[in-house]
Structure 1
Amino acid sequence: MRAADPTTGGAAAGSVARSADADVIVVGAGPAGSTAAAYLARAGLDVLLLDKSTFPRAKVCGDGLTPRAVKQLIDLGIDMSEAAGWRHNKGLRAVAGGVSMDLPWPMLASFPDFGAVRPRQDFDELLVRHAEKQGARLREATTVTAAIEENGVVVGVEGHEGPDRRPFTRRAPLTLSCDGVSARVALSLGMVKDDRRPLGVAVRRYYTSPRTDDDFLETHLEVWDRRDPKAPKLLPGYGWIFGMGDGTSNVGLGILATGRTNGTGDYRGLLTHWLAAQPEEWGFREENAVGTIGGAGLPMGFNRTPHARPGMLLVGDAGGMVNPLNGEGIAYAMESASIAAQCAIQGLARSGASREAALAAYPRRMSEALGHYYRLGNAAARLIGNPAVMRVATRHGLPRPTVMRFLLKLLANLYDPKEGELSDRVLTALTRLTPAV
């Protein structure tokens, strides 16, 4: 159903109305938008992919991918071999209370047994070019500021494009809001985030470091704010050290923005102070820094709903898809994009009530896929906000390998729901017994 490209003057085709610019408009070309665009274009739909940036572009991220994210990339058709530029890792190293434990990724039928690292600057461009190869039409330097709504139905978007900020409107039967934590499309429709759901903050920086070739993702489960020596605070969050394999390491902090941290304010200063306490031989000092400290919000636990309204679906960070237990966003952005694309492909092949039924299935399918787990994660996030709980968990849990392997599966959402060992069955039952978000 290839539609006319208004920039080339091509002839309209398929079922698209003569006034439409595409079958689907995808706003945002991050992991969610590029994944959705690739699946939709592969199915023969005309996809207009809009992004405010130009590629390549950097994003604030840990650059570490768990096996859950690797699965999504394999499903998309991305070559995940090391020869293709990916650096594989073996698992997660948990550090707290003077104890360090290497936890290999579990051997599962549902997910591969390796993770990966790749800089977001390279990663995002790889995904967007893959979408273009499938037939998606990318428009860079194109900022969408609002949805266009008629009679309660989203029929397109508006904004400005190019260096001279020319105003534009684009119309389509369906819009996918994949515009990240800013969620401008949703906000233009009055869809605000739920402040009862957790919100995280991530700050990171690259350093030239001898730890660049580490083949475990390292996470520090105790993050102390000691800037006031008289009143040190154990913060709800974690630090990370991910070796990039190119001479640098990506190091950062992920902090829950709870009542105890809202007064912290200066997260960049907190990162600098935390790194100063790390061994000097690791190289995390100003003279070894590559670039500046970057920060970003982490919208967690379905903090913006509903995920669908007539003519529009919310995908990835725009719908608060970040895992509230570990701050992972890429895997869930891509997973939600895959589900959204399936619903869109079915819906746009139909008309009338049947079309609306197919599109309205998206929130239900997201709830079935992640709603129970995210409700569990939202409750856990509230517990993590209690320093006494954090101290007990790290002191009594970390020295016990069996407990930590179980927690790894829970925190990373890596277990076989239908087959596998006892811990997988326990996690499956625990998740199903938890009401969905």
Structure 2
Amino acid sequence: MSDVDICILGAGPGGTTAALHLARAGHRSLLLDRATFPRDKVCGDALSGKVLSELRRIDEALPAQLAAEPAQLPSWGIDFYAPNGRRLAVPFKPRYNPATDRPAGHISKRIDFDNFLVEQVRRQPLIELRENADVARHEQLPDGRWRLLSADGSVLATTRLLLVANGAQSAFARQIGGHQLEPAHHCAGLRAYYQGVQGLHPDNFIELHFIKEFLPGYLWVFPLPNGQANVGVGMLSEAVSKKKVKLRERLDEILATHPALKDRFATAERLGPVRGFGLPLGSKRRPLSGSGYLLLGDAGSLIDPFSGEGISHAMVSGRHAADWAARALAADDVSAGFLKGYDEAVYHRLWQELRLSRAMQRLLQYPWLFNFVANRAASNPTLAETISNMFLDLDLRERLRQPGFYLKLLLGR
């Protein structure tokens, strides 16, 4: 058993980011995870420019180290396919040169990327990483500390401050944080790996297909090393229930029959099973803290409502969690009132982008409007760049505050 000031649940991107920032600031932490690394995680596997920016904040050398990993591909943009079939190619960087420019994004299986971060953790003497630590129960003691117990009732740790980063299915987030599954703010998804998909972009653009018959859902195709691809579908849980959609059947049907995809998948081989997952979306502002705890990443329901991306938001929340954990200990105050500063910091960074993504998500209910936006973006540099920036760290907040930005959107400049 450990009695610590800071314990972190979950060694995914949010938890490892928090631990690494704490270590850089000279603070010890205990990092618990139920798995042994490397371990798989169901995800789209795309690493946006925001991820690279957060890696750089941990250590300037990390983006270059990631780029040197054989288990990743550099990605230079996004191909959007509108319901009318219109393809909108949006490079992450205008006039990019793959031969000389640093990659603007990457694609890496989570089994590899999460292990990349865990390897950084293993090098830090101030972080105690404990794998195979399955927390089955948590209870708050009279003095405010949290006690974490295994299934057999043994105490795994007692901590003054608990950073909860154990994912979308977090029991703590539901039972203590009050984050209930709300179908209007939750996405159901499926993912499978394929070998031999034809027609992937030579510069590894990720593909998002908004197919008229599948709206308000979407299908993605993300290239991976060794000729593989991550292929999946996502749809609001509310729509899945209302329309009685069977996602596995629809995925197979779309890949076999859709004019833009059937030839590309005719000889492709599925590798392993189709795996499902749920995504609590950041389309609703929820509390991220309470007495003696902070919620990070997916456990804090911070997933992008439009793209489904959660890795960068987990890392952003991990950075702020480390900051506010250090502040709380310095002030000798882990009360709910003090820790609300963490909520404010996270939402100050992410809320306007989450609202923009929510607005884009709502376009999926109106195919004609989505077609209009796609057609307009093809001749409107400001709109195309705005869509691109949703996946980068070219902070949209300042633009969204400027009236001139909206004028440019309307006038097509």
Moved more, 165-174 or 318-327: 165-174
Query: Which of these residues, 52, 61, 64, is aligned with residue 34 of structure 2?
Result: 52
Distance 1:428 1:106, change over 3 A: farther
TM-score by length of 1: 0.79
Other-structure match for 2:411 = none
Other-structure match for 2:313 = 332
Other-structure match for 1:43 = 25
Other-structure match for 1:15 = none
Q: Distance in 2 between matches of 1:381 and 1:38?
A: 33
Deviation at 1:115, TM superposition (A): 0.6
**Unpaired stretches in structure 1, ≥5 consecutive residues:** 1-5, 7-19, 225-232, 431-437
Q: Distance in 1 between matches of 2:243 and 2:383?
A: 31
Deviation at 1:404, TM superposition (A): 4.7
Distance 1:372 1:94, change over 3 A: closer
Which letter maps to 2:105? G
Q: Distance in 1 between matches of 2:266 and 2:275?
A: 15
Deviation at 1:62, TM superposition (A): 1.3
Contact 2:91 2:388 in 1 (8 A): no
The answer to whether the aligner puts 1:207 opposite 2:189 as a matched pair is no
Q: Deviations over 1:381-432 (max 9, x none)?
A: 34433445445444x435435265144146436534598xxx77759977xx
How does 1:310-349 map onto structure 2 within 5 Å? 310-349=291-330
Other-structure match for 1:248 = 228
The answer to whether the aligner puts 1:159 opposite 2:150 as a matched pair is yes
Distance 1:337 1:197, change over 3 A: farther
Q: Distance in 2 between matches of 1:298 and 1:251?
A: 16
How does 1:90-239 map onto structure 2 within 5 Å? 90-96=76-82, 97-106=84-93, 114-135=104-125, 136-151=127-142, 153-160=144-151, 167-189=154-176, 191-193=178-180, 195=182, 198-209=185-196, 210-211=198-199, 214-224=202-212, 233-239=213-219
Query: Which of these residues, 280, 283, 305, is aligned with residue 299 of structure 1?
Result: 280
Q: Distance in 2 between matches of 1:379 and 1:291?
A: 35
Other-structure match for 2:58 = 76
Q: Distance in 1 between matches of 2:387 and 2:44?
A: 18
Moved more, 237-246 or 336-345: 237-246
Contact 1:146 1:188 in 2 (8 A): no
Moved more, 49-58 or 186-195: 186-195
Deviation at 1:158, TM superposition (A): 2.1
Distance 1:44 1:262, change over 3 A: farther
Other-structure match for 1:87 = 73
SS, match of residue 150 in structure 2: strand
Contact 1:50 1:140 in 2 (8 A): yes
Distance 1:284 1:172, change over 3 A: farther
Give the structure, 1 or 2, with the largest relative contact order (CA under 8 Å, sep 6 or more).
Answer: 2
Other-structure match for 1:66 = 48
Distance 1:143 1:260, change over 3 A: closer
Other-structure match for 1:415 = 394
Contact 2:141 2:147 in 1 (8 A): no
Distance 1:211 1:367, change over 3 A: same
Q: Distance in 2 between matches of 1:428 and 1:127?
A: 40
Which letter maps to 1:335? V
Contact 2:219 2:231 in 1 (8 A): yes
Query: Which of these residues, 251, 257, 266, is aligned with residue 271 of structure 1?
Result: 251
Query: Which of these residues, 362, 366, 381, is aligned with residue 342 of structure 2?
Result: 362
SS, match of residue 193 in structure 2: strand
SS, match of residue 331 in structure 2: coil
Contact 2:183 2:236 in 1 (8 A): no
Q: Distance in 1 between matches of 2:78 and 2:322?
A: 31
Q: Distance in 1 between matches of 2:359 and 2:397?
A: 25
Q: Deviations over 1:114-160 (max 9, x none)?
A: 11111111111111221221232222222223321134935232233
Q: Deviations over 1:334-359 (max 9, x none)?
A: 01100110111222233248x87753
Which letter maps to 2:68? A
Q: Distance in 1 between matches of 2:143 and 2:250?
A: 45
Q: Distance in 1 between matches of 2:130 and 2:36?
A: 9
Q: Deviations over 1:360-383 (max 9, x none)?
A: 310111121112332343344344
SS, match of residue 125 in structure 1: helix
SS, match of residue 123 in structure 1: helix
Distance 1:376 1:100, change over 3 A: closer
Other-structure match for 1:402 = 381
